[in-house]
Structure 1
Amino acid sequence: MPRGVAIPEVRQQLFAAVEQVVVRDGPGKLSGRAITGEAGVATGLLYAHFTDFDDFLAAYAVDRSFLISAAAATLPERAGTGSVTANLGDALLSTPPTTLLTLTRLIASRPRLPGLVRAVLGDRTAGLDAVEKAVAAYLTEERRLGRLAAAADPAALALALVGVLQRVTLTGAPEAEVRARVESVITTLLTSLGGGVQPR
């Protein structure tokens, strides 16, 4: 994607500016000038590292989708340790809500982005798809270990949890509120729909 070898600090500075603009003004206000102005750098700097603005946004989406998926990738390995609710909370809430909010809004406004992300990271291995897959795998293992009720449906629970995370994030609520609401839903789903978590 980048035309040359981009300086990582500059890329991340520009990516952070995307989130600030989208959260404050919405994706409709995104432009090269808006991003570089928010980042406090010259407009030409963006185009020194990316072919065009679409290339830049694709690079942002790939970067953030990878971060989201990487945060949940180790969740299945935690089966049998700690508490199930805490492990799920850590995995679901490790990505800042502003990043999830920005990526979701950006993808909704630019339908080509998901395909570009999948072309780089693969199907169901990026973003919230990867989180859902990791949560389902984790809950399947916890059920096998007896720490999740045998009647629980790991795939359904994973879909519900990721759906709640995305819904709550889209409200634009402060991070503390997002965390509290998601953690509350995790506990409720595991105890009522999942039949209860075995204390171990």
Structure 2
Amino acid sequence: MPRGVAIPELRQQLFTAAERVILRDGPSRLSGRAVTTEAGVAAGLLYAHFTDLDDFLAAYAVDRSFVVIAAAPLADRAGTGDIAANLADALLAIPRDTLTALARLLVLRPELAERVHDVLGDETALDAIERAAAAYLEAERRLGRLAESIDPQAVALALVGALHHLVLTAGDLDDRLRPAIAALVGSTANERTANG
């Protein structure tokens, strides 16, 4: 890239490059040079826009948290369709590479989570997914489609735990997450029928 030429969308280009490095080489291989090499830009360009690598990684984590949060809409699904399918469809709509890279980075660098919290408050990616799932399940319970004895927060936590585990272990998300959700929510439907 010639010197002095503006690079449109440079932040996103660097974030996408970081994501590719994390997915291919693991977060422990992430460095400023690895990111700029992957992005095909000058080595010092990252530091012209970010204070240091930690500043860059925090900005990446915040940006990708927004992507994950926006990708799992559940609010409008209450009262329609199958509960387990609605949850699975919402969770599987999250860009897998983004969620995988973000989860792996935050496991290796947990101190970045504090920086994400500083920007987003309590709404980090997995927190937001958990809250959305709990709110959806609570709405379904209010509509009588879910047993009163079910704790939406506990089920939502279990769903996020399963999602996080599968993302970190490179499991087949679709084939393994759908049955897990069906088992959690299906058991609630069975309980509701039995108690009905």
Q: State TM-score, norm by structure 2.
A: 0.87
Structure label with greater radius of gyration: 2
- 1:111/1:60 CA distance change after superposition, 3 Å: same
| Aligned-partner Cα distance in 2 for 1:7–1:68 | 25
| Deviation of 1:78 (Å) | 2.1
Moved more, 135-144 or 100-109: 100-109
Please, which runs of 5 or more residues in structure 1 have no aligned partner?
1-5
Q: Does 1:9 align with 2:9?
A: yes
| Deviation of 1:67 (Å) | 1.6
| Aligned-partner Cα distance in 1 for 2:54–2:110 | 12
SS where residue 140 of structure 1 aligns?
Answer: helix
| Deviation of 1:41 (Å) | 1.7
Post-superposition Cα deviations, 1:132-171, rounded to whole Å, max 9, x if no partner, equal 0110111011011112223322111101110000001111
- The alignment covers a number of residue pairs equal to 188
| 2:76 partner amino acid | E
| Deviation of 1:193 (Å) | 4.7
1:181 to 176, 179, 185: 176
Map of 2:68 onto structure 1 = 68
Given that 2:68 and 2:95 are in contact with CA atoms closer than 8 Å, whether structure 1 keeps it comes out as no
| Aligned-partner Cα distance in 2 for 1:32–1:45 | 9
Given that 2:22 and 2:30 are in contact with CA atoms closer than 8 Å, whether structure 1 keeps it comes out as yes
Moved more, 32-41 or 148-157: 148-157
Map of 1:111 onto structure 2 = 110
| Deviation of 1:88 (Å) | 0.7
| Aligned-partner Cα distance in 2 for 1:138–1:25 | 36
Map of 1:120 onto structure 2 = 119
Map of 1:54 onto structure 2 = 54
| Aligned-partner Cα distance in 1 for 2:182–2:135 | 18
| 1:148 partner amino acid | L
SS where residue 155 of structure 1 aligns?
Answer: helix
Q: State TM-score, norm by structure 1.
A: 0.85
Please, which runs of 5 or more residues in structure 2 have no aligned partner?
1-5
